[in-house]
Amino acid sequence: MTTDVLTVTPKTHVCEAIHLLVDHHITGLPVIDAERYIQGIISEEDLIHLLLEELITETRSVKDFMKKNPLTCSPEDSVVKACEIFLENPSVNLPVVKDNKLVGIISRSDILRLIPPKREKK
């Protein structure tokens, strides 16, 4: 789990969210309020759809496009539960929340890093 999570607010401009995703090589951004309560999540996929539809204007913000009530898990949940959520849903990022406040995020890449490296046969 990543605990130093890059986030946006519902008022963040869509272009700023795009730059954050690209500059930091990440696939999604949790959307939080001033108290870190999770409001939604915005992903590369959401923004690509917008670009295709040419909906981005100077007045559009993240809240216009984020997925509200994203799937989440808690810090106490097992890795198995996170894997099941990833397999049952197209999401590539899973916000980790405690008392509905963001404490981290798990990506599919985080899960893959748990697989031990292949050992050479002797």
pTM of the model: 0.69
Which amino acid is located at 73 in the chain?
C
Domains of the chain listed by start with CATH number: 14-112 (3.10.580.10)
Q: Under a CB-based contact definition with an 8 Å cutoff, are residues 37 and 99 in contact?
A: no
pLDDT, tens only, 2-17: 889 999 999 999 889 9
Q: What pLDDT, on the 0 to 100 scale, is given for residue 67?
A: 87
* Residues of the chain with confidence (pLDDT) below 70: 54-58, 122
Report the interhelical angle of 14-24 vs 44-53 (nearest 10°): 130
